[in-house]
Structure 1
Amino acid sequence: MGILDKFKSNKAARDKAKQASDAAERKLNERTGGKYEQHIDTGQQQAERRLGMDRDRPDQP
């Protein structure tokens, strides 16, 4: 079992990572004045998808 598998199976870690991701998105949008909001959102979605944190999917066990 790799480190990402452990991460994916740990709900508390996923929740904390989502909070951190949202905070980073807000900070970046604040610093850029929202100029790159769509690009930042796309990057956030791709990073979360690669970590198995898709917001569209129900929580996995």
Structure 2
Amino acid sequence: MSALDKIKKMLKGHEDQAGKGVDKAGDMIDDRTHGKYSKHVDTGQDKLKQQFGADRNQDEPPRS
């Protein structure tokens, strides 16, 4: 089992909180770099949210 699989298992049911944490970490990086890498940070945030399932709305059915 990979580290990412273990993290996903721990975060199951807490996707919204994981998304908030990813946003907060990205904002901190943007603050420290004065927005120099904001496009890269945004891309990383989006990919992490997809991996953790934090990008899904509760109203939408899960994607297969």
**Where do 5+ consecutive residues of structure 2 fail to align?**
none
Q: Equivalent residues in 2 for 1:1-61 (5 A)? A: 4=8, 7=12, 10=13, 13-54=14-55, 57-59=56-58
Pairwise CA distance, 1:16 = 1.3
Coordinate RMSD, CA, aligned: 2.3
**Which structure: greater helix fraction?**
1
TM-score (norm 2): 0.67
TM-score (norm 1): 0.70
Any runs of at least 4 consecutive aligned residues in structure 1 with deviations exceeding 6 A, and if so which? none
Could you report, residue by residue, the CA deviation over 1:7-37 in whole angstroms, capped at 9, with x for unpaired residues?
A: 1xx1xx1121111111101100000000000
In 1, Cα distance between the equivalents of 2:51 and 2:39? 19
Q: How many residues align?
A: 54
**Where do 5+ consecutive residues of structure 1 fail to align?**
none
